[in-house]
Amino acid sequence: MNGIKIGIMCNREFIRKAFIASLVIFQEKIIEIVFETTIESFETVIPHSSRPDILLLDIDSPDISGTEVIENVLSCYPDCSIILVSDIDDKNTLLKYIQAGARGCLKKVNQDKLVTVISAVMDGGCYISPAYTKLLFDHVLCTRKCLSELSYREQQMVDAVIDGLSYKLIAYRHNISIDTVRFYLKKIYRKLNINSKGELLALMRLNSN
């Protein structure tokens, strides 16, 4: 395999140093750092020719939309695998990151662990740190209970969303109005403590495993 091209997007200096130190001890494959930048500088200073295989992303502030950052990166580099570090403790935000396209989610930077995560992602896998795994696991158990309590019509709405249907096509499939579709989906979102179709799809993927 050719060398792995790494991009680093990081606002916190100690995290940036941890990223660099982790890459120095990475011995399985040749590493090339193609750029280092902050989140704010990304769109203005990084040429599109610097296409990373992996982006190490530090999401350090509640004022930064991690979902938007991930989507912006993938719009520039569709084949890039994003490994993010974040201090979040909110399951819904974590689900949004996964739905947006993150392939690795770390609570803390650990040099040895980062080597493992990079290897897993380059082999086509994903990685979620134990702290986040427990957060999602607890959420999945709670969600499965909530899913089991959905009405027959609500379950039909969920199935239609999974099938990729628009509100108009859901209404056509079940011979109801678009407003009725919206009504049922809002009820489902409240029951599952989510806010969007994207979160619903991410949640259903987790529950299908």
* CB-based contact 34:42 (threshold 8 Å): no
Q: What pLDDT sits at residue 13?
A: 86
Question: How many Å apart are CA 118 and CA 125, to the nearest integer?
Answer: 9
Q: What pLDDT sits at residue 107?
A: 82
Q: What pLDDT sits at residue 209?
A: 55
Question: How many Å apart are CA 75 and CA 67, to the nearest integer?
Answer: 12
Q: What pLDDT sits at residue 1?
A: 46
For residue 164, is it left (φ>0), alpha (ψ between -120 and 50) or beta? left
pLDDT tens series, the chain, 209 aa: 467 888 999 888 888 888 888 787 765 567 788 888 888 877 666 666 678 999 999 887 666 688 888 988 898 889 999 999 888 887 778 888 888 889 988 887 777 777 788 888 888 888 888 878 887 777 777 777 888 889 999 999 999 999 999 999 999 999 999 999 999 999 999 888 888 888 888 777 766 65
Q: Which domains does the chain have, with CATH numbers?
A: 4-129 (3.40.50.2300), 150-203 (1.10.10.10)
